[in-house]
Structure 1
Amino acid sequence: MAKDIYQAMQLGLVDHRWNMDYGKLYDFICGEDAIARLWGSPPPGDSFWKMLDRKGFNPTVYEKNYSNHEKKVDVAVAGRMTKDAYTVLDKSKDEIILVSGDTDYVPVVTDLVSEGFKVEVAFWDHAGRELVESASKFISLNQFHDHLTR
């Protein structure tokens, strides 16, 4: 047993009984009225896929590499955030919500915030410190753990 998430990550401990429900995460973060770009790779059978059908989304799916790791996704997300910020969004009323704790996003978040966009980051409390500090606001998902899992 690990004493906290940091030790579990360091030791490579995984609880295979725990599963994030990405459909619930989407509903929690976006609600009914939001326009969302969706990325990542929820597992088959997740409520996320039914939500995509229900909302009429046509997702782009990137294949995982030979090690079963996502590739291209972080760059695609950063590019889409930037493109949408300058072509679709009204910085006086719209906000960008990034669900990630990865510090690879620090440059794009920092740039968008410095340009006057509201960029919120939602993730577990072990999100990268630099990313949390660069965001307009940080939303901790820790307190919603039971709601976001299946």
Structure 2
Amino acid sequence: MTLYVYVDNSNLWIEGMRFSAVRKGMAPSLIDAMKRDITDQSWTYDFGKLYQAICPDDEKIGRSSLFGSRPPANDSLWDLARNQGFEVTTFDRNSANKEKQVDTAISTQIMEDSYEHMKPGDKLVLISGDRDYLPTIQSLHRRGFSTVIAFWEHATGKELKEEPIIYQPLDDLFEYLSR
């Protein structure tokens, strides 16, 4: 079996900052933090530890891809991700400073990999809780590929926590993943 790993960086980072804000007492609950858009801007995660947590040493990795918005020139985190073996794909934000193209790019790469590289028994690991990925996951399932969703409990769509999807919450790994 080979793992194919795809990370929605912005989704992971924003919801991790929200989780951190609640842990630091900046908001009384995750629901409150989401309603009032409260995040801990100082929080970030370690790409290498994320990779270790979701990709066991004994598993063969077919691809590890990290997607997100183009970072500022002085942002070293993307270089750290490259050094940990991630392929990095970034996109410019639109004129309203909104992230565009990331979810579609991830879904496209997943589908391309499923037809061009994956073999029966291979597994998709997706680090995102966005329900927009559900049609892609359902297509893979119909073709015999299993999916692991690893993401923050509060920000994972309930459909992504149901069988046949294997759901792995990141909440218990917060301290381990934090830089």
Same fold (TM over 0.5): yes
Deviates more, 1:63-72 or 1:5-14: 63-72
**Runs of 4+ off more than 6 Å:** none
Measured after TM superposition, the shift of residue 25 of structure 1 is 1.8
Q: Which amino acid aligns with 2:76?
A: G
C-alpha offsets along residues 68-118 of structure 1, whole Å, 9 cap, x if unaligned?
A: 3321110010011111112101122x1110000111111111121122111
Q: TM-score, normalised by structure 2?
A: 0.71
Partner of 2:148, secondary structure, is: strand
Specify whether residues 144 and 42 from structure 1 end up closer, same or farther in structure 2 by C-alpha distance, changes over 3 A only.
farther
Q: Which amino acid aligns with 2:82?
A: L
**What are the ranges of 5 or more consecutive residues in structure 2 without an aligned counterpart?**
1-25
More contact order relative to length (CA 8 Å, sep ≥ 6): 2
Report the RMSD for the aligned CA atoms in angstroms: 2.3
The answer as to 2:139 corresponding to 1:118 is: no
**What are the ranges of 5 or more consecutive residues in structure 1 without an aligned counterpart?**
none
From 55, 79, 96, the counterpart of 1:30: 55
CA–CA distance in structure 1, aligned partners of residues 43 and 88 of structure 2: 25
The answer as to 2:29 corresponding to 1:18 is: no
Q: How does 1:1-150 map onto structure 2 within 5 Å?
A: 1-30=26-55, 33-34=60-61, 35-41=63-69, 44-46=75-77, 48-53=78-83, 55=85, 59-92=88-121, 94-126=122-154, 127-133=156-162, 136-150=165-179
CA–CA distance in structure 2, aligned partners of residues 135 and 76 of structure 1: 24
CA–CA distance in structure 2, aligned partners of residues 23 and 41 of structure 1: 20
CA–CA distance in structure 1, aligned partners of residues 84 and 130 of structure 2: 29
Q: Across the two proteins, how many residue pairs are aligned to each other?
A: 147
Q: Percent identity?
A: 34
Specify whether residues 59 and 11 from structure 1 end up closer, same or farther in structure 2 by C-alpha distance, changes over 3 A only.
closer
Measured after TM superposition, the shift of residue 61 of structure 1 is 2.1
Hey, which of these two has a bigger chunk of strand by percent? 2
